[in-house]
Amino acid sequence: MPLDPNQTHPLVLSDGTVLPDMVHLNQVIDHPNIRIGDFTYANDFDPPKNWAARLAPYLYPGAPETLVIGRFCQIAHGVRFITASANHAMDGLTTFPFPVFDPATIEGYKAGFTGLPDTVIGHDVWIGHGALILPGVRIGSGAIIGAGSVVTRDVAPYSIVAGNPARLIRPRFAAGIAERLLALAWWDWPPDRIRAAVPALLQPDIAALEALRPGD
C-alpha cells in the first residue's frame, strides 16, 4: 500500500482521481507555533488556502503557546483548536481588549500574555466532525473525540469522549490493552514495518501486532 508522508493529498481513488478535500497537514502548514507529525490528515469540504488559520484561528506566529499534533491523526471537517491566545484579560472591570485597537499599546498588551499552556494531541487520535478543542487540552494517543464535542479537559489515551462538555463514554479496549499499545508506539516504527503491520492494525488482536514489533 502507498505510505508517503510527503504526499500533499493522500487520498487517491483507484482511477487515479486525487481528492483535494484531504491533506497531510504538515505538507500545507508552515507556522512557527504549530508542529504536526507525519501522516496526520485533515478533511474539509471547503478546503482553505490557509489551513493553519482554519484549524487554529487564534494562534498567531510568535504566540506564547504552541499546538502540537502527533502522527497518524485524523481530523474531520469543522474541527477547531481554540488556543490560549484567544483568551482575554479578566483581571479588570471589563474583558474588552481596548489596547488591541491602539497601535501604541498592542505590543505591550500582547507581552502581558506569557506562559500560556500548549495544546497537545497525541498519536492516532480521531477528532470527529465539528469538535472544538479548548486551550491547554492534552489528548492522549488513540483517543476518539465524538462529533460536535467541546473538549474542556485532558483526555486519557485510548478513550472515547463526546458531548458538551466532553465526557468519557468508555475506554476503547479492555484493561491493559491501552498500555500495551502505548508501549508498542507503532506510529514511530519505520514506514516499511508499519506497511507490513497494516493487516494487524486493522484487527483487534494486539498479540499479532506485538509479533511484528521492530527488533523482534
Write out the three cell numbers for 167: 465526557
Q: Rounded to an integer, what is the distance from CA 88 to the centroid of its chain?
A: 24
| Bond prior to 165 in cis (omega within 30° of 0) | yes
Query: Which positions ≥6 away from 16 have C-beta within 8 Å?
Result: none
Active site residue 77: no
Write out the three cell numbers for 162: 463526546
Query: Which positions ≥6 away from 92 have C-beta within 8 Å?
Result: none
Handedness of CA 206, 209, 215, 216 (dihedral sign): positive
Q: Out of 77, 88, 123, 129, which one is annotated catalytic?
A: 88
Catalytic center residues = 88
